[in-house]
Amino acid sequence: MDSTHSIWRSVAMRDALVRRDAGAIVRLARRASDITLAQLGAAVGYTAASLSRMERGKQPMRDVQLLRQVAEYLDIPPDLLGLAPRHEQATSRGYVDERLPGTTKVGPHALFGEEGDDPVRRRKLLTGLAGATSGAVLGPAPAAAQSPARPVLAGLEDLLLHRQSSPPLGTDPTPSTVFASVDASRRDFSACRYDALARGLPSRIALAQALGAEGHPRQAATPVADLYTVATRLCIKLGEDGLAAVTADRALTAALGGADALTVAEAHRMVSSAWRRQGHYARATDVAVTAAQQLAGDRTTDMAERLSVQGNLYATAAYTAAKQGDRHTAQALITEAQATAGRLGHDELLRGTIFGPSQVLLHQISISYLLGDAGQAIEHARRIDTAALPTSERQARYWIDVARAFDQWGKPDRCYRALLAAERAAPQEVRRGSVRTMAAGLMRHDRALPGVRTFAQRVGALV
């Protein structure tokens, strides 16, 4: 479309550009070019229905590959859709081809990104945490009459800041008692007993650290790292990103103090997740992929365990790339995870973490949702036998991801049914922010969805 076309001077286009509404920009440009949704869909490989939802803001339009194809087909300057102008070589349309900004470069980089950056960032995170009150770090406690109580993390915060925690009374720090505490923490997490886990973690970490202080630092390295890994996963579940960054750092520090290669790799996965939660997607992806590549050459660990940890690293990296909107990298990485799952052959719960074919499908649901393809997400979901998922946490995560896809697809009744299934699988899992957001959105359908108001109250969406 010619740059002098009147559509670019219209009030509607100016408003869409100010709001950076990619869907509205595409809709206006498409109509001005007299191109139908079906024609555009055939050109870019999407259905007309999906594109219609994107244009109307019912579904996010953030897949960089789609935006690139749409910009080229409709002659929209790439920068108007959040893409960088192309400048490396001329094309027939006057643009040039280059790697899009923000897409992930996977290579042999340092695990923490640029040299010197990570220690500075860690100090800032710790300083910020130390200088804040409990309310500032953890947020205000929800009113008991309006929303469910959330696990209290004050004990974990005190341990991180002041080392103020003691081993359980009457428990000596021996290898057997320490590893039993690790197993108990993993069981609590898998069963979504987040209240009990939040209460138990500080003393369990203190017990493991006491083992190291009594002259067994290498024996203590693995359980301390494992417990901080569980703590990181709990903080992520509860949306406590600042604490998650600190516990992930503690997990990796402990692992590097003498733990085996699998524990080190799993700690890197926590660091990757923490970077993702901070919005550093490219760095998060590189941390996970580099850890997986380094683990591939290790022959000191059990092959099944090695494949499980590797596969989870690739799946985590794929999810992060999708979060960034990088479809190509996300697809390449989830394919790698799928191949790893094929070598493993089955789902297996190892060291408190599950991996296998069904776990790849779970990630594919999330990835499809993040890339705006709710229909594809549901197709992946249909291939999973929920009864075979080995833990309550995995079952609840499945149903929440299904609910997100149906919510994106504009099917509130199915979204609600999926959320109820998640609640049945693990009541504490539905306290997550994403569930509260969906529940609040479902309130406008309260006449058609019996019980949705009560559900919203149970999960804390009514304040």
* CATH assignment at residue 30: 1.10.260.40
Q: SS3 for 324? A: helix
Distance CA 32, CA 15 (A): 16
Instruction: Give the chain's domain count.
Output: 1
In terms of residue numbers, what domain contains 36? Answer: 6-81
Assigned domain for 341 exists? no
Q: What angle do CA 63, 67, 72 make, to 5 degrees?
A: 155
**Would you state the pLDDT for residue 22?**
87
Assigned domain for 207 exists? no
Distance CA 308, CA 337 (A): 9
Distance from the Cα of residue 235 to its chain's centroid: 12
Assigned domain for 34 exists? yes
The DSSP bridge pattern shows strands 348-350 and 353-355 to be: antiparallel
Distance CA 403, CA 84 (A): 34
Token pair, residue 68, equals: 């690139």
Token pair, residue 179, equals: 């590893």
Token pair, residue 274, equals: 């923490």
Q: Token pair 């130390």 is at which residue?
A: 130
Inter-residue contact 148 to 460 (CB < 8 Å) = yes
Token pair, residue 156, equals: 């974990």
Q: At what angle do helices 194-213 and 154-162 cross, to 10 degrees?
A: 20
- Partner residues linked to 354 by β-bridges: 349
Distance CA 118, CA 122 (A): 6
DSSP assignment of 73-129, as one string? HHT--GGGGTPPPP-SS--TTS----PPTT----SS--TTSSTTHHHHHHHHHHHHH
**Would you state the pLDDT for residue 228?**
95
**Would you state the pLDDT for residue 397?**
95
Assigned domain for 291 exists? no
Cβ contacts of 83 within 8 Å, gap of 6 or more: 64, 67, 68, 71, 100, 101
Assigned domain for 397 exists? no
Assigned domain for 58 exists? yes
**Would you state the pLDDT for residue 311?**
94
**Would you state the pLDDT for residue 169?**
64
First to last CA, the chain: 49
Nearest Cα residue to 255 out of 241, 233, 271, 234 = 271
Assigned domain for 65 exists? yes
Assigned domain for 33 exists? yes
| pTM exceeding 0.85 | no
pLDDT along the chain (463 residues), means of 10: 76 81 89 89 83 83 80 85 53 32 33 36 38 31 44 81 69 89 95 94 92 80 95 93 92 92 94 93 92 86 90 95 91 94 86 87 95 92 91 94 93 94 94 91 90 92 77
